[in-house]
Structure 1
Amino acid sequence: MGSLQCLSQEVSLLASIARDICPFPNYQITPHVQDFLSLNSSTYLNNRYATVQSSLSVKQLEDFTQSLRSTFGREGRVSYGGVGVVALSLAILFDTVAQQVKGEYVSDQEPIPGLFLKNFRGYYSPSVYTISKYLRLVPHIANNPTRMRQETERYLKQLTFDYQLFEKQWMKAKQDDVTVVNQKIGEYLHWHLYIHLQRLTNATFADKAIESAFTFFNNTTNDKPPTNISYHNVNLNLNCNPEESSKEFLDEIKKSDERTQNAFKRCKPEDLADSETLQHIAKTDWLAVNEFIFNGVRRKEQHIAQKEDFDLKVGALRKWETH
């Protein structure tokens, strides 16, 4: 990044223009992760619930509601459903069930679409599959605290093995840009799995539980995800001729509005060669993901102890009843 004044929205703006010229991947993390793992997760989830329901026909809505009734029963309440990984899992469930009642095929074996970036090489790190399985399981066990705790502990242990395997693969060859972004998303979700376990295990001392989670992620044990992997060992999939595309990008910037030109001035290093401009924009956009993960894990105020159940009946557009 050319300057500390270069803002994330400016990076996104420039990357969007560059991507029209050179189709490199969109590295930005889905709003699902940012919204449903935030302090306002319950509000976002309520809005998502309403939006998904309103997109369905009368018959589809009945099938959608029936599917949720079958999963959550008469009470329609999900323990910790309004916070953290449970809120995220519910949002994914809403999207999945909506697709199914529309007659669309939804795989339950592949990485969760929209949560992780699509890798056209077909390779995903082991943690991507582990977390996808966990999030698909959560709605079915959320109201069983014993099993919820046991499964979260089990998946956290599996993630430790996944990271060890990924590190071995990392040492053998360069990893592509999309693989690394997915790995970073996995690390961020791993962090939230640990917070959820602390809420389940230390509900009476929730504040101390979150402090314990921060201690966990800042220690030097082998349980810690490999957050310090070198970013020099990465292949950027630009899918274009970088030098030619850089020239085209610079021409486009010259024709752009004042806001875009100012963003480019702030984000371009003074010593950057014109022929390397597009690579710089792509790499800056890619690095923004790691910055999001880094800041998100270390802001304690973003992960205060919460316990907020989610009531599916309150926002249901069809009558909630069991048969």
Structure 2
Amino acid sequence: MGNMHCPAEDSARLAAVARVICPFPNYTPHPHFTNMLSINSSHHLKEHYTAVQSSLTSKQLEDFTQGLRTTFGREGKVTLGGVGVVALSLAVLFDTLAKTVKGELVSDSEPIPGLFVKNPRGYYPPHVYTISKYLRLVPHIANNPTRMKQETERCIKHLDADTQVLNQMGEKLQHTTEDITVINFMLVYQVTLSLFVHLNRINNGTKDDVNRFRQTQVDNKGEGILNFNCDPEIADTEFLAEVEKSDNYTKESLQKCKPKITAVGERSDPESWLLHVAGMELSNFILLNFGAVILSFSGDLLTQREDFDLRTNALGTWSADQFLKFQHSAVYPQEN
């Protein structure tokens, strides 16, 4: 699958043409995975917090802030809230509360909307349900180290049990090798690694403790079955015609992204260009995104211990409270 000699920007250019003719999934993960589980998670969380609040009306912002105060109290401090899975859970909470105050219905039992990639047939690996349940729970226990440790350990064990269930169903189970599900498995692995990092933060563990998990293999043997709702032969004809009408960059991308050189040194067209282009996009997701995730889990990430202050970063009620408190202390200093 894919072509190691084809730069990501070239395969993306071809994919943009191919998706118009025969839509196939966008394999780009939700930015929360890239942002909230990175070394710059606290910065990204502050930006997201501000963006969500800015999207609300005054009344919605008041209800939104009240929802946060109900969960975290007037102090608004979240232990380790600026890093890892806690930052991810806060980002999810912000999104959920924002939808709620806007009058949208949000299920609290299904996979978190938009976070993982939805299969057209509605299938998610069981791990997605387990992680969704955990992320919804985290805000309610984040300031309780004992509960956080217990629930994180429980989630890791549950994820392992989910894997065992799939293994018992057989490696040839179609759902587990579909392209979208392969992506979800990659995201599950990323979150699971973050769970180990989080648990080791709580236990004051070392990088070696996390490496024990990094050395395990992703529980998926295939690269992904690519499914399309069109006739590849007809679609290929239309695809090549569109490329021919495109700019020179797109034409050059087609030449760069042909299959690997054959034994006799000649280039050959793929059996299906649509499948080839989609395969390159999926391979790029695995190699670029997943590879970067593994490399990012270093000792620096493990040593992060940053709390998140909802009150300081609030645009609404909390900020107003602070201003009033400051005014009061200036007029009546003897009360402090």
What is the TM-score of this pair, normalised by structure 2?
0.86
Equivalent position of 2:185 in the other structure: 183
Equivalent position of 1:99 in the other structure: 99
Shift of 1:266: 2.5
SS in 2 for 1:235: coil
Paired residues for 1:276-315 under 5 Å: 276-291=272-287, 292-301=289-298, 303-315=301-313
**Cα 1:272–1:40 shift into 2, 3 Å:** farther
Paired residues for 1:136-147 under 5 Å: 136-147=136-147
5+ residue gaps, structure 2:
262-266, 323-336
CA displacement 1:60-94 (0-9 Å, x = unmatched): 00000000000111211111111111111111110
CA contact (8 A) 1:69 1:76 kept: yes
Equivalent position of 2:109 in the other structure: 109
Shift of 1:304: 4.5
SS in 2 for 1:179: helix
Shift of 1:217: 2.1
Greater displacement, 298-307 / 163-172: 298-307
Equivalent position of 2:250 in the other structure: 260
Aligned AA (2:232): P
SS in 1 for 2:317: coil
Indicate the structure (1 or 2) with the bigger Cα radius of gyration. 2
Paired residues for 1:1-323 under 5 Å: 1-4=2-5, 6-175=6-175, 176-202=178-204, 209-218=206-215, 224=216, 226-227=217-218, 229-231=220-222, 234-269=224-259, 270=261, 271-273=267-269, 275-291=271-287, 292-301=289-298, 303-320=301-318
Shift of 1:107: 0.6
Q: Distance in 2 between matches of 1:150 and 1:253?
A: 55
Shift of 1:169: 3.1
Q: Distance in 2 between matches of 1:157 and 1:34?
A: 24
CA contact (8 A) 1:246 1:275 kept: no
Shift of 1:170: 4.5
Shift of 1:275: 4.6
CA contact (8 A) 2:200 2:302 kept: no
What is the TM-score of this pair, normalised by structure 1?
0.89
Shift of 1:260: 2.7
CA contact (8 A) 2:36 2:87 kept: yes
Q: Distance in 2 between matches of 1:8 and 1:274?
A: 18
Shift of 1:17: 2.1
**Cα 1:217–1:3 shift into 2, 3 Å:** closer
Q: Distance in 2 between matches of 1:136 and 1:267?
A: 42
CA displacement 1:148-170 (0-9 Å, x = unmatched): 01100000001011111122335
CA displacement 1:194-241 (0-9 Å, x = unmatched): 111000111xxx5xx2332013321xxxxx4x5163226x43111111
CA contact (8 A) 2:270 2:276 kept: no
**Cα 1:284–1:135 shift into 2, 3 Å:** same
Aligned AA (1:273): D
CA displacement 1:89-114 (0-9 Å, x = unmatched): 11111000000000000011111122
Shift of 1:45: 0.8
**Equivalent residues, number:** 309
**Cα 1:38–1:263 shift into 2, 3 Å:** farther
SS in 1 for 2:23: coil
CA contact (8 A) 1:83 1:306 kept: yes
